[in-house]
């Protein structure tokens, strides 16, 4: 079905309908900000971008999608979003900017389902993103009809469109440029807190929404901000996520204050050897688990394997999403995609981390998109030793 404003959506309605049908779901009620943004085609209300709480409740955007009937889709919004719609209309045929909290937003969603949906619908929800009071409203209206739809949305987002890939590549490029500028500007005596703040400004100046920075200096493995200062000859690891229009770049690069000595060159070469072994297995049709096996097998042959870890995960709208390649490593989920073929358009984060007892935290994290013939790396710059600034 062709609806105004839907041509550039990152998903197809028939694909969503098929996933819902397989899960036994008639109606989706999406309440997470990231999936609401995805279904709406990239929109996020700036007023609640950083925080949800207001008054006694919270902001709760709700997208209601009926299987096979995109023309009945509703967006239940905060009252202030009427202005957003006036300037840039949402594609959803039904727009209900009537809510101030989690109960009234779900009450509006229920009213829409009753007016436009089947009489006894099986309703797909996101349990981790559904407030208790909202769930009560939904459960009272449709007793024993709620189904976990988390997997439906994960599968819908798994393969990225060309526009999504472009955003992820640009986010990664901007992060690596920000990191290189931050390392070059840091000097003897720069504290972790100062370096993190510098990176935040660099990413913000490049149009990214700064998400986080995990930073180590010297022999320490502690990645939290502090007053620890950078000393000559010490390493720096900088791991950051930056958000570009709802898509996350997640990169780790290495710095050194001065010139890297022979040991540091060798240690980073070990990391690179593992990364390259994993990259070599990335292509459409290859099993996701083969990427992990190749990295793990190469790591086992490295001199410092005992203090080094390898893992890979999917990423895009959030930092760990389909394909899920490893079980509880480190995030708690099952590696259900390890024995399934990768698809062109999937995006992986591949990372190797060494916790060296005397030289510190040495890591590369790279983002690659799966292609028919192999992979394309995003944010390629700065993968060697980046030198810190002079005093």
Q: Based on the domain organization, do 105 and 178 belong to the same domain?
A: no
Q: What is the mean pLDDT of residues 154-175?
A: 98
Contacts of 166 (CB under 8 A, 6+ apart): none
Q: Based on the domain organization, do 257 and 352 belong to the same domain?
A: yes
- Does some domain include residue 3? no
380 by DSSP, 3-state: which?
coil
Average pLDDT, the chain: 97
Q: Based on the domain organization, do 208 and 140 belong to the same domain?
A: no
Relative to beta strand 62-66, strand 27-30 is antiparallel
Q: Based on the domain organization, do 196 and 148 belong to the same domain?
A: no
- Does some domain include residue 6? no
- Does some domain include residue 263? yes
Q: How many Å is the Cα radius of gyration of the chain?
A: 23
What's the pLDDT at 133? 98
Q: Based on the domain organization, do 226 and 362 belong to the same domain?
A: yes
pTM of the predicted structure, to 2 decimals = 0.95
Q: Based on the domain organization, do 177 and 139 belong to the same domain?
A: no
Relative to beta strand 375-378, strand 360-370 is antiparallel
What's the pLDDT at 204? 97
Domain boundary among 125, 157, 189: 157
- Does some domain include residue 56? yes
Q: Based on the domain organization, do 179 and 99 belong to the same domain?
A: no
pLDDT digits (tens, 9 = 90+) for 124-137: 999 999 999 999 99
pLDDT digits (tens, 9 = 90+) for 192-202: 999 999 999 99
pLDDT classification of 390: cutoffs 50, 70, 90 = low
- Does some domain include residue 258? yes
Q: Based on the domain organization, do 190 and 263 belong to the same domain?
A: yes
What's the pLDDT at 391? 54
Q: What is the mean pLDDT of residues 127-148?
A: 97
Q: Which domain holds residue 31?
A: 13-157
- Does some domain include residue 373? yes
Q: Based on the domain organization, do 149 and 182 belong to the same domain?
A: no
pLDDT classification of 2: cutoffs 50, 70, 90 = confident
Q: Has residue 270 got a pLDDT over 70?
A: yes
What percent of the chain has pLDDT above 70?
Answer: 99
Q: How far apart are CA 183 and CA 198, in angstroms?
A: 9
- Does some domain include residue 5? no
Output phi, psi for 45, to 5 deg.
Answer: -70, 115
Q: How far apart are CA 295 and CA 365, in angstroms?
A: 13
pLDDT classification of 251: cutoffs 50, 70, 90 = very high
Q: What is the mean pLDDT of residues 30-36?
A: 97
- Does some domain include residue 191? yes
- Alpha-carbon dihedral sign for residues 244, 211, 175, 196: positive
CATH of the domain at 33: 3.40.350.10
What's the pLDDT at 132? 98
CATH of the domain at 304: 3.90.230.10
Domain boundary among 134, 157, 180: 157
Relative to beta strand 123-125, strand 146-148 is parallel
pLDDT classification of 50: cutoffs 50, 70, 90 = confident
Q: Based on the domain organization, do 149 and 188 belong to the same domain?
A: no
Q: Based on the domain organization, do 175 and 85 belong to the same domain?
A: no
Domain count within the chain:
2
Output phi, psi for 162, to 5 deg.
Answer: -55, -40
* Structural tokens at position 328: 């509880």
Q: Based on the domain organization, do 49 and 166 belong to the same domain?
A: no
Q: What is the mean pLDDT of residues 72-89?
A: 97
């Amino acid at each position: 079905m062709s609806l105004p404003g839907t041509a550039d959506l990152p998903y197809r309605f028939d694909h969503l309908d098929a996933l819902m049908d397989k899960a036994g779901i008639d109606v989706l009620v999406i309440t997470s900000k990231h999936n609401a943004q995805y279904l709406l085609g990239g929109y996020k209300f700036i007023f609640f971008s950083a925080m949800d709480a207001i008054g006694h409740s919270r902001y709760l955007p709700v997208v209601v999608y009926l299987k096979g009937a995109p023309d009945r889709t509703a967006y239940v919004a905060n009252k202030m979003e009427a202005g957003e719609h006036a300037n840039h209309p949402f594609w959803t045929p039904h727009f209900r900017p009537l809510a101030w909290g989690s109960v009234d937003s779900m009450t509006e969603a229920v009213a829409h389902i009753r007016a436009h949906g089947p009489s006894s619908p099986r309703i797909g929800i996101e349990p981790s993103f559904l407030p208790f009071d909202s769930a009560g409203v939904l459960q009272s209206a449709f007793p024993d009809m709620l189904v976990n739809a988390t997997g439906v949305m994960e599968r819908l987002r798994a393969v990225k469109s060309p526009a999504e890939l472009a955003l992820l590549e640009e986010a990664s490029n901007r992060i690596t440029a920000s990191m290189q500028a931050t390392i070059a500007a840091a000097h003897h005596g720069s504290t972790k807190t100062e370096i993190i703040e510098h990176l935040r400004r660099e990413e913000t100046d490049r149009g990214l929404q700064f998400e986080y920075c995990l930073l180590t200096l010297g022999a320490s493995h502690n990645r939290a901000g502090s007053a620890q200062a950078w000393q000559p000859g010490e390493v720096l690891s900088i791991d950051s996520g930056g958000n570009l229009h709802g898509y996350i770049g997640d990169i780790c690069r290495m710095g050194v204050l001065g010139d890297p000595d022979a040991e540091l060159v060798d240690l980073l070469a070990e990391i690179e050897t593992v990364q390259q072994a994993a990259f070599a297995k990335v292509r459409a049709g290859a099993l996701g688990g083969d990427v992990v096996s190749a990295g793990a097998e190469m790591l086992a042959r490295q001199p410092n394997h005992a203090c080094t870890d390898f893992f890979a995960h999917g990423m895009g709208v959030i930092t760990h999403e389909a394909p899920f390649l490893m079980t509880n490593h480190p995030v708690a989920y099952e590696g259900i995609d390890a024995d399934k073929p990768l698809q062109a358009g999937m995006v992986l984060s591949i990372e190797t981390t060494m916790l060296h007892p005397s030289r510190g935290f040495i890591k590369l994290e790279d983002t690659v998109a799966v292609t028919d013939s192999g992979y394309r790396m995003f944010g390629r710059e700065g993968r060697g030793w980046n030198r810190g600034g002079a005093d």
